Structure 1
Amino acid sequence: MTTQTSDRASDYASVGFAGTIGCGASPAVVVVDVCLAYLDDGPFSDAHGRFEEARSSADRIVDAARAAGRPVVFTRIELAPGGVDAGWFAVKVPGLVAFEQGSPYADFPKSPAPLPGEVVVTKQYASAFFGTTLASTLRALGVDTTIVLGFSTSGCVRATALDATQHGFRSLVAREACGDRDAGVNDANLFDLDAKYADVLSEAQIIEHLTAPGAP
């Protein structure tokens, strides 16, 4: 942590931000939009490999969750032709054409990818909770904590982590498993999430929670 970041964190804490939510007894991993659009030569890929680094971390966390018997839920974006079901979001972000039905860019990479029987939530907007059955599915599974990771930190990860809190789940975010085009934007959004809406934890801390005694 840089001196500047440490000073900022101390300033926020001094006025009552950055409390700790903690992990509950029944966490699930929510893998947000880890898809080909952000990887390799996809239209949203970055020249610095940030998304690939996040994908690798996500893969390790998903493996740990499965080994511990924890639920893993994947999300994907799929839009109707012309983005008619994404409203002004599709107007604001014309690049969402990459997620129209039939586009290969919406597909999952080789890993992490859903296994047979794992839930895949299809969405049209940023939050994985908005207009979907995600909250009901998690509650039916007995989940009390969502571990959110994926792409992109400032967009769909942030929106999903915030909505997890607003739906009554403990919200955790896996730092290394979140990717964005710009390092500054990525770090600023993780800082703000940690200050206000979620606990942002390292990959090692997340895996420790997933593999703690009491896994089903």
Structure 2
Amino acid sequence: MSKRAVIIVDLQNDYLPSGSFGLAGIDTATANAARVIDAARGKGDRIIHVHHIAKEADSPLFAPNTDGIHPIAAVTPQAGDTVIIKNYPNSFRETTLQKTLQDGGIEDVVVIGAMSDVCIDATARAAADLGYNLTVVHDACATRDKAFGDSVVPAAQVHATIMSALEFGYGTVTTTADFLS
């Protein structure tokens, strides 16, 4: 049995261009995520989908009982996959993720999904802090432009900044092509 899990974070309809909070590059990131997931299934890796559902019914993002909370079609969970619901950026916070990984004897985690600078960052850092060998497949992740004060930071810069920090201090950051080779 594989000691690796692929954790798919928040690849949900609200992040599509037609959703309430469309991300730059989400279509490419989702296609790459689907490739990573397919390869992982073929190797017998554990597949864990983490879906965010807001606590507030009127939330502009991932509001309960909306189409926005459903997984993007290309990465819909399949039989045998685990689905975990979260309410915070960190996929480990107040969820069963840590127990699921421990019970499965998981040592290595691969993190993909959205948003690079929020939930991917929080989940990846937590995984490394908990002692897992971390890999982030960066082109299977997406984000959007961010504002800080009077500045607008383009999505590509937001993504690169987070990925460089994760690679520097937490684990391996790679591409889909390199991950699959």
TM-score, normalised to structure 1, is 0.75
Deviation (angstroms), 1:81? 3.4
1:55 matched residue in structure 2: 30
Structure 1 unaligned segments of length 5 or more: list them. Answer: 1-24, 84-95, 209-216
Structure 2 unaligned segments of length 5 or more: list them. Answer: 145-154
1:127 matched residue in structure 2: 90
Contact 1:38/1:45 (CA < 8 Å) preserved in 2? yes
Is residue 2:110 matched to residue 1:147? yes
Q: Tell me the amino acid that sits aligned with residue 35 of structure 2.
A: R
* Structure having the larger proportion of residues in strand: 2
Is residue 2:1 matched to residue 1:28? no
SS in 1 for 2:88: coil
Contact 1:65/1:207 (CA < 8 Å) preserved in 2? no
Q: Tell me the amino acid that sits aligned with residue 41 of structure 1.
A: S
Contact 2:52/2:86 (CA < 8 Å) preserved in 1? yes
Q: Distance in 1 between matches of 2:89 and 2:32?
A: 22
Is residue 2:134 matched to residue 1:171? yes
Check 1:131–1:63 CA distance in 2 against 1; reply closer, same or farther (3 A cut).
same
Deviation (angstroms), 1:43? 1.5
Deviation (angstroms), 1:82? 4.3
Per-residue CA deviation, residues 119-176 of structure 1 (Å, 9 max, x unaligned), is: 1110000011111110110111111011001000000001000000111111110011
| Aligned with 1:203 (options 150, 172, 176) | 176
SS in 2 for 1:126: coil
Query: Identity of paired residues, percent?
Result: 28
2:21 matched residue in structure 1: 44
Q: Tell me the amino acid that sits aligned with residue 103 of structure 2.
A: A
* Structure having the larger proportion of residues in helix: 1
Per-residue CA deviation, residues 164-189 of structure 1 (Å, 9 max, x unaligned), is: 01111111100110111111101110
Q: Distance in 1 between matches of 2:180 and 2:101?
A: 19
Larger radius of gyration: 1
| Aligned with 1:69 (options 44, 54, 64) | 44
Contact 2:85/2:95 (CA < 8 Å) preserved in 1? yes
| Aligned with 2:166 (options 176, 183, 193) | 193
| Aligned with 1:80 (options 55, 60, 64) | 55
